[in-house]
Amino acid sequence: MLTVEKIGGTSMSKFQDVLKNIIIGQKRDNSYYDRIFVVSAYNNVTNWLLEHKKTGEPGIYQLFVNGNNFINALDDLLQKLIGINRNFTDIKLDLKIADQFITERINQAKSYLLNLQNVMATGYVNKQNILLAAREILSSIGEAHSAFNSVNILKNNGINAAFIDLCGFNDSDYLTIDERIRKEFKNIDCTTTLPVATGYTKGTEGIMREFDRGYSEVTFSKIAVEVKADEAVIHKEFHLSSADPNVVGIEKSIPVGFTNFNVADQLADIGMEAIHPKASKPLEIAGINIRIKNTFEPEHPGTLISKNYICNASKIEIISGTDKVYAIEIHDPLMVGEVGFDLGIMQIFQKYNISYILKTTNANSITQVIWESDLKNEFISELQEKFYEITLKPVAIVCALGTNIAKPGILAKASSALSDNKINIECVSQSLKQVNMQFIINREDYKKAIIVLNDALCVIN
């Protein structure tokens, strides 16, 4: 059985546990092999390189964009990365070799970025393409660092590991992402070698341009499809659970066990990614199941995501959501009976590259929920110019999801649970597929709503 397994950044920062629980602890038939590992950068490293994924706090990339001193920032980053290396001496990381590798990689990045800066200064090339190239270069550094270290540690622990550097720093091969993966894995014998691949892959289409911060899961997915893996495994620092344990408490956060790709897509749409949707689709089409496991509970089977799974019992499996969204209501008396009225709205959304999470309508109003980070003054101004009345409100969205929730009374039970706890439903949505009930509520009620719905629909049931 060949598996492709991705290790997330938080888990990578605790590589002692990864080594003990996953690589050594989960070996099959007394063998370390028949597995391929795809690794993320250590926790926070990509945030330092690009920008903080959740807060948007700028990193080195923004210094490059603004023409500021990114060289000193890269020097500071190098010291942080060398400091991270010191965390793994107890599991036999060779510090001299590890420090030398990341120093050389940072120096290469400096050279490339300086060249890009000089080319951009000539004014002969499209500035946006240069910035995208810089973002690609920076994003690759973290995964190269963690993958190289991992292979060094494994070799020093008697495991025949191979560093699969998909970053392409040392070649000028004009390859697509798929072609590079195919080339690097063509002669790898996974029965005698444990490959560790970088989560970043260099390609002519630009993996950051296509997938942005979901790129490591896309690499993971493409490798699994290329090698025809029997299963794709994602190791995280938590289970895929009925609700966030940090909100409802560990004792009331129940591992899901089984779900399907449709539910995984619903989670991704609200930012609670089991896996990036553009990474899950190739696996779904190829018939490769995904297993989400907790790095720190290696004996637990985790949650299996498959194409056709439907729970035998009709029930809610997951409560999730976010309080980082805004509701935009467009009200216009001319809307009623006007065929295609919302086309004009969507053209403005498309112009500003904004996707909505939820959409509800009545005779003369359309409400759409978007990410707070997508809110732009010029976007709102254009809506106000074109339509009669625009209402903008900070809100939260909470969702009750399941593979089989088409049962009379579940929606009523969810609504009653919120109402009984003085949580007003501002807006609600459910499609005919009936895998996701979405409630828009006041932002200050978000955590309370997650707890209330988890207790009413998951724990008691």
Domain boundary among 222, 237, 252: 237
pLDDT band at 461 (very low <50, low <70, confident <90, very high): very low
Q: In terms of residue numbers, what domain contains 79?
A: 3-237
218 falls within a domain: yes
Q: How confident is the model at residue 460, as a pLDDT?
A: 52
Same domain, 23 and 123: yes
Same domain, 201 and 342: no
Same domain, 333 and 201: no
Instruction: Give the residues across from 61 on adjacent strands.
Output: none
pLDDT one-digit tens code per residue, 61-92: 999 999 899 999 999 999 999 999 999 999 99
167 falls within a domain: yes
Q: Tokens standing for 258?
A: 């089984």
278 falls within a domain: no
What's the burial of 282, exposed, middle or buried (CB within 10 Å: 0-12/13-18/19+)? middle
Distance, CA of 375 to CA of 20 (rounded, Å): 44
- Please list, in sequence order, all residues whose beta carbon lies within 8 angstroms of the beta carbon of residue 406, skipping any fewer than 6 positions away: 314, 434
Same domain, 222 and 330: no
pLDDT band at 144 (very low <50, low <70, confident <90, very high): very high
Instruction: Give the residues across from 399 on adjacent strands.
Output: 320, 438
311 falls within a domain: no
pLDDT one-digit tens code per residue, 347-357: 999 999 999 99
437 falls within a domain: yes
Count of domains observed in the chain? 2
Same domain, 155 and 30: yes
Look up the CATH number of the domain holding residue 188: 3.40.1160.10
Is the pLDDT reported for residue 119 higher than 70?
yes
Q: Is 38 left (phi over 0), alpha (psi -120 to 50) or beta?
A: beta
Residue found under tokens 């779904």: 284
340 falls within a domain: yes
Same domain, 32 and 177: yes
Same domain, 218 and 361: no
Q: How confident is the model at residue 366, as a pLDDT?
A: 94
> Other CB atoms closer than 10 Å to residue 25's CB: what's the count?
12
Q: How confident is the model at residue 279, as a pLDDT?
A: 87
Domain boundary among 218, 237, 256: 237
Instruction: Give the residues across from 315 on adjacent strands.
Output: 404
Q: What is the mean pLDDT of the chain?
A: 93
Domain boundary among 187, 212, 237: 237
